Amino acid sequence: MIWDLHCHLSGVAGQTPGERIARLLDYADRMGVERLCFFMGMQWSTDPTPDDFRRENDEVLEAISGHPNRCYGFVYLNPKHEQESLDELERCIANGPMVGVKLWTAERCSEQSLDALVRRAGELKALIYQHTWLKVGGNLAGESTPTDIAILAARHPEVSLVCGHTGGDWERGIRAVRNSPNVSVGIGGSDPTAGMVEMAVRELGAERVIYGSDIGGRSFASQLGKVYGAEIRPTDRTQILGGNLKRLLTPIFRDKGYAL
């Protein structure tokens, strides 16, 4: 059972969200990926206006609408536009089919401006995916590090958070979130560098490590290769490939009546 935490409507031809997701699912079929979470639209904005994120979310809603019980949406928000983001959360999750939240690089996630969003997402049992990186040449102004997500996690110990990309520089990222039990690491969207998954399992436990690809910029192959190639127990592999994501999404799937 493979569930993919981290997919985008990119990397394939297609004029509409529906055309793109259909092509992406051909590859998913070939790689044995059963369920996929999508976020952000056909064109991305690093610091989206409310109109931008509504359009991107509309595209995800359109894409997943033809694939119930297989494709799910995470709502893309910008904490700089707090009320509009709260409204979008209601539209897409409380009153819509989405099951998670995506936050990218508009604002560092340690900022207080995230608190209302995170609290409401927690009430809705939505899973929050926060992009993080640690770039040796310097991050973008609003780009979070794993340390930022550890700070956020301490303020919201009851909300499940995903540290996106494991911080990119995973040897630091894993250490930064080790002491935050409500933070899992998303291993997708980086080179398939050997040792990454082993260290994450060793330091965090397999139950806090989640497979995702970051298609279409990355391949299923390179990111699945991290899990298949890692020297870990078969039970760890099963958890990382899908068990953990299923566990974290189970409460909201139950509320929405989605098949598990």
Partner 1 sequence: MTEVPVTDVPVIDVNVYLSQWPFRRLPLDDTPRLVAKLRERGVTQAWAGSFEALLHEDLGSVNTRLAEECRTHGGERLLPMGSVNPVLPDWEEQLRRCHEDLGMQGIRLHPNFHGYGLQSPACIELLEQATARGMLVQIAVQLEDPRTQHPLMQVPAVDVSPLTSLLAENPQLQELRLILLNSQRSVRLPLLGELAQKGKVFVDIATQEGVGGVEKLIQSVPVERILFGSFSPFFYFEAAELKLRESPLGGALRRAIASDNAAPLVARIHSTPPPN
Q: In what order do the strands lie in the sheet with 127-130?
A: 3-7, 35-38, 71-76, 100-103, 127-130, 161-163, 183-186, 209-210
Binding to partner 1 by residue 211, rule CB under 8 A?
A: no
Quickly list DSSP for 200-259.
Answer: HHHHH-GGGEE----BTTS-HHHHHHHHHHS---HHHHHIIIIIHHHHHHHHHHHHHT--
User: Per CB under 8 A, which of residues 131..170 are in contact with partner 1?
Assistant: 133-137, 168-169
List the single partner that 171 binds among Zn ion, partner 1, none, CB under 5 to 8 Å by kind: partner 1
Cβ closer to partner 1: 30 or 254?
A: 30
CB 246 within 8 A of CB 3: yes
Give me the sign of the Cα torsion angle 114, 126, 8, 164: positive
Cβ closer to partner 1: 181 or 229?
A: 229
Give me the sign of the Cα torsion angle 256, 89, 187, 180: negative
**Residue 130 and residue 67: Cα distance in Å, rounded?**
25
Q: Binder to Zn ion among 214, 223, 226, 242 (CB under 5 A)? A: 214
Q: How far is the CB of 86 from Zn ion (least distance, A)?
A: 23
List the single partner that 154 binds among partner 1, Zn ion, none, CB under 5 to 8 Å by kind: none
Q: Binder to partner 1 among 46, 110, 113, 238 (CB under 8 A)? A: 238
- The one-character DSSP state at 114 is G
72-88 CB burial, b ≥16 within 10 A, e <16: bbbbbbbbbbeebbbeb
CB 150 within 8 A of CB 179: yes
Cβ closer to Zn ion: 88 or 214?
A: 214
| Interaction mask 181-210, partner 1, x per CB under 8 A | ---------xxxxxx--x------------
Cβ closer to partner 1: 124 or 230?
A: 230
Place of tokens 């819509």: 96
Choose the binding region for Zn ion from 52-60, 93-101, 194-202, 213-221 (rule: CB under 5 A): 213-221
User: Per CB under 8 A, which of residues 27..46 are in contact with partner 1?
Assistant: 27, 30-32
Choose the binding region for partner 1 from 41-49, 108-116, 156-164, 211-219 (rule: CB under 8 A): 211-219
- 10 Å CB burial of residue 95 (0-12, 13-18, 19+) is exposed
Cβ closer to partner 1: 233 or 254?
A: 233
Amino acid letter, residue 88: E
Binding to Zn ion by residue 143, rule CB under 5 A?
A: no
Binding to partner 1 by residue 230, rule CB under 8 A?
A: yes
Element (H, E) at 67: none
Contact footprint for partner 1 (CB under 8 A): 11-12, 24, 27, 30-32, 133-137, 168-169, 171, 190-195, 198, 213, 215-226, 228-231, 234, 237-238, 241
Contact footprint for Zn ion (CB under 5 A): 214
